[in-house]
Amino acid sequence: MTRIIAGRAGGVRLDVPPAGTRPTSDRVRESLFGALESTGLLDGTVVVDLYAGSGALGLEALSRGASHCDLVEKGQKAAQIVRRNAARVEKASGAVARTHQTSVQPFLRASQRTYDLAFVDPPYDLDGSVLADDLRALAPLLAPDAIVIVERATRSGEPDWQSAGLVALRAKGYGDTTLWWGEPPQDA
Protein backbone atom coordinates (compact mmCIF):
# COMPACT_ATOMS: atom_id res chain seq x y z
CA MET A 1 0.00 0.00 0.00
CA THR A 2 1.28 3.45 -0.91
CA ARG A 3 0.45 6.30 1.43
CA ILE A 4 1.45 9.84 2.33
CA ILE A 5 4.16 9.39 4.94
CA ALA A 6 4.01 12.63 6.95
CA GLY A 7 2.61 16.14 7.16
CA ARG A 8 -0.95 17.42 7.08
CA ALA A 9 -2.13 14.51 4.90
CA GLY A 10 0.03 11.90 6.64
CA GLY A 11 -1.50 8.44 6.41
CA VAL A 12 -3.75 9.23 3.42
CA ARG A 13 -3.84 6.18 1.17
CA LEU A 14 -2.80 6.63 -2.45
CA ASP A 15 -4.08 4.47 -5.26
CA VAL A 16 -1.44 3.21 -7.69
CA PRO A 17 -2.02 2.53 -11.39
CA PRO A 18 -2.20 -1.24 -11.97
CA ALA A 19 0.50 -1.21 -14.67
CA GLY A 20 2.93 1.07 -16.45
CA THR A 21 4.21 3.01 -13.44
CA ARG A 22 6.84 2.42 -10.78
CA PRO A 23 5.87 4.12 -7.51
CA THR A 24 8.71 5.50 -5.41
CA SER A 25 9.04 3.28 -2.36
CA ASP A 26 8.15 4.59 1.10
CA ARG A 27 11.78 4.14 2.17
CA VAL A 28 13.11 6.30 -0.68
CA ARG A 29 10.40 8.95 -0.18
CA GLU A 30 11.07 9.06 3.56
CA SER A 31 14.79 9.62 2.99
CA LEU A 32 14.20 12.15 0.20
CA PHE A 33 11.70 14.22 2.15
CA GLY A 34 13.80 14.13 5.30
CA ALA A 35 16.60 15.72 3.27
CA LEU A 36 14.24 18.25 1.64
CA GLU A 37 12.69 19.27 4.96
CA SER A 38 16.14 19.92 6.41
CA THR A 39 16.65 22.57 3.69
CA GLY A 40 13.37 24.34 4.52
CA LEU A 41 12.57 24.13 0.82
CA LEU A 42 9.07 22.71 1.19
CA ASP A 43 7.38 25.59 3.03
CA GLY A 44 5.06 27.43 0.63
CA THR A 45 6.86 26.21 -2.48
CA VAL A 46 5.55 25.54 -5.97
CA VAL A 47 6.25 21.99 -7.17
CA VAL A 48 6.06 20.15 -10.47
CA ASP A 49 5.92 16.35 -10.58
CA LEU A 50 6.76 15.15 -14.11
CA TYR A 51 5.84 11.56 -15.03
CA ALA A 52 3.65 11.63 -11.91
CA GLY A 53 2.46 7.99 -11.95
CA SER A 54 0.40 7.93 -8.73
CA GLY A 55 1.44 11.48 -7.81
CA ALA A 56 3.17 10.26 -4.63
CA LEU A 57 6.17 12.61 -4.83
CA GLY A 58 4.28 15.82 -5.56
CA LEU A 59 1.50 14.98 -3.13
CA GLU A 60 3.98 14.18 -0.36
CA ALA A 61 5.46 17.66 -0.94
CA LEU A 62 1.98 19.20 -0.60
CA SER A 63 1.37 17.33 2.63
CA ARG A 64 4.65 18.65 4.01
CA GLY A 65 4.07 22.33 3.29
CA ALA A 66 4.25 23.06 -0.45
CA SER A 67 1.48 25.41 -1.58
CA HIS A 68 0.90 24.18 -5.14
CA CYS A 69 1.79 21.17 -7.27
CA ASP A 70 1.37 20.51 -10.98
CA LEU A 71 1.15 16.74 -11.56
CA VAL A 72 1.94 15.77 -15.15
CA GLU A 73 0.93 12.30 -16.36
CA LYS A 74 0.11 11.39 -19.96
CA GLY A 75 -1.52 7.99 -19.33
CA GLN A 76 -5.30 8.32 -19.11
CA LYS A 77 -5.84 5.71 -16.38
CA ALA A 78 -2.86 6.94 -14.36
CA ALA A 79 -4.03 10.57 -14.69
CA GLN A 80 -7.47 9.58 -13.36
CA ILE A 81 -5.80 7.94 -10.36
CA VAL A 82 -3.60 11.01 -9.81
CA ARG A 83 -6.74 13.20 -9.79
CA ARG A 84 -8.37 11.02 -7.12
CA ASN A 85 -5.19 10.97 -5.03
CA ALA A 86 -4.80 14.74 -5.39
CA ALA A 87 -8.38 15.33 -4.22
CA ARG A 88 -7.71 13.29 -1.06
CA VAL A 89 -4.49 15.16 -0.29
CA GLU A 90 -6.03 18.58 -1.07
CA LYS A 91 -8.86 17.85 1.35
CA ALA A 92 -6.44 16.88 4.12
CA SER A 93 -3.77 19.53 3.48
CA GLY A 94 -5.57 22.56 2.08
CA ALA A 95 -2.89 22.87 -0.62
CA VAL A 96 -3.62 23.03 -4.36
CA ALA A 97 -2.85 20.22 -6.80
CA ARG A 98 -3.53 20.34 -10.52
CA THR A 99 -3.38 17.22 -12.66
CA HIS A 100 -2.40 17.67 -16.30
CA GLN A 101 -3.05 14.73 -18.63
CA THR A 102 -0.39 15.42 -21.21
CA SER A 103 3.18 14.57 -22.14
CA VAL A 104 6.01 16.35 -20.37
CA GLN A 105 7.28 18.44 -23.31
CA PRO A 106 3.96 20.09 -24.27
CA PHE A 107 3.25 20.82 -20.61
CA LEU A 108 6.64 22.49 -20.06
CA ARG A 109 6.39 24.51 -23.28
CA ALA A 110 2.98 25.88 -22.21
CA SER A 111 3.67 26.42 -18.50
CA GLN A 112 3.80 29.98 -17.18
CA ARG A 113 4.80 28.98 -13.63
CA THR A 114 8.09 29.24 -11.82
CA TYR A 115 8.94 26.11 -9.85
CA ASP A 116 10.89 25.84 -6.62
CA LEU A 117 11.05 22.05 -6.70
CA ALA A 118 10.82 19.62 -9.61
CA PHE A 119 10.50 15.86 -9.46
CA VAL A 120 11.42 14.03 -12.65
CA ASP A 121 10.67 10.32 -12.30
CA PRO A 122 10.44 8.94 -15.85
CA PRO A 123 10.03 5.31 -16.81
CA TYR A 124 13.35 3.52 -16.37
CA ASP A 125 13.51 2.77 -20.10
CA LEU A 126 13.26 6.46 -21.09
CA ASP A 127 16.20 7.32 -23.31
CA GLY A 128 18.78 9.65 -21.76
CA SER A 129 18.46 12.10 -24.65
CA VAL A 130 14.72 12.47 -23.98
CA LEU A 131 15.46 13.13 -20.31
CA ALA A 132 18.04 15.74 -21.35
CA ASP A 133 15.38 17.41 -23.56
CA ASP A 134 12.99 17.43 -20.59
CA LEU A 135 15.60 19.06 -18.35
CA ARG A 136 16.35 21.70 -21.02
CA ALA A 137 12.63 22.54 -21.26
CA LEU A 138 12.30 22.61 -17.46
CA ALA A 139 15.36 24.81 -16.75
CA PRO A 140 13.80 28.19 -17.79
CA LEU A 141 10.85 27.52 -15.46
CA LEU A 142 13.01 27.09 -12.35
CA ALA A 143 13.41 29.65 -9.58
CA PRO A 144 17.06 30.66 -9.00
CA ASP A 145 17.27 28.52 -5.85
CA ALA A 146 15.19 25.59 -7.18
CA ILE A 147 16.05 21.94 -6.72
CA VAL A 148 15.49 19.28 -9.39
CA ILE A 149 15.36 15.64 -8.33
CA VAL A 150 15.65 12.94 -10.97
CA GLU A 151 14.83 9.36 -10.02
CA ARG A 152 16.14 6.67 -12.36
CA ALA A 153 17.68 3.24 -12.45
CA THR A 154 21.25 3.44 -11.22
CA ARG A 155 22.41 1.71 -14.42
CA SER A 156 20.91 4.60 -16.48
CA GLY A 157 23.63 6.92 -15.23
CA GLU A 158 23.56 10.54 -14.18
CA PRO A 159 21.32 12.96 -16.09
CA ASP A 160 22.97 15.37 -18.53
CA TRP A 161 22.72 18.42 -16.28
CA GLN A 162 25.20 20.47 -18.30
CA SER A 163 23.22 20.44 -21.56
CA ALA A 164 20.24 21.84 -19.61
CA GLY A 165 22.36 24.57 -18.01
CA LEU A 166 21.95 22.94 -14.61
CA VAL A 167 24.51 21.85 -12.03
CA ALA A 168 24.71 18.49 -10.26
CA LEU A 169 24.40 18.66 -6.48
CA ARG A 170 24.53 15.08 -5.24
CA ALA A 171 23.38 11.55 -5.82
CA LYS A 172 22.10 8.89 -3.45
CA GLY A 173 21.53 5.26 -4.36
CA TYR A 174 18.82 2.97 -2.99
CA GLY A 175 19.50 -0.47 -4.45
CA ASP A 176 18.89 -0.22 -8.19
CA THR A 177 17.32 3.27 -7.88
CA THR A 178 19.31 6.51 -7.63
CA LEU A 179 18.12 10.01 -6.84
CA TRP A 180 20.16 12.68 -8.59
CA TRP A 181 19.84 16.26 -7.31
CA GLY A 182 20.54 19.29 -9.49
CA GLU A 183 20.00 23.04 -9.45
CA PRO A 184 20.38 26.15 -11.57
CA PRO A 185 23.92 27.58 -11.46
CA GLN A 186 24.44 29.87 -8.49
CA ASP A 187 25.87 33.33 -9.16
CA ALA A 188 29.32 33.74 -7.65
Q: From CA 29, how far away is CA 7, in angstroms rounded?
A: 13
- Helices assigned H by DSSP within the chain: 26-39, 56-63, 76-93, 104-110, 128-138
Collect all residues with Cβ–Cβ distance below 8 Å to 129 and sequence separation of at least 6.
Answer: none
Q: Which residues pair with 47 in a beta bridge?
A: 69, 117
CA distance 133 to 120: 12
Along the 188 residues of the chain, how does pLDDT read in single tens digits?
789 999 999 999 999 987 656 667 778 889 999 999 988 889 999 999 999 999 999 999 999 999 999 999 999 999 999 999 999 999 988 889 999 999 999 999 999 999 999 999 998 778 889 999 999 999 999 999 999 999 998 999 999 999 999 999 999 999 889 999 999 998 74
Q: Are strands 115-120 and 46-50 parallel, antiparallel or unpaired?
A: parallel
Give the pLDDT confidence score for residue 186 in this predicted structure.
84
pLDDT of residue 188: 47
Check if the beta carbon of residue 172 is closer than 8 Å to that of residue 29.
Answer: no
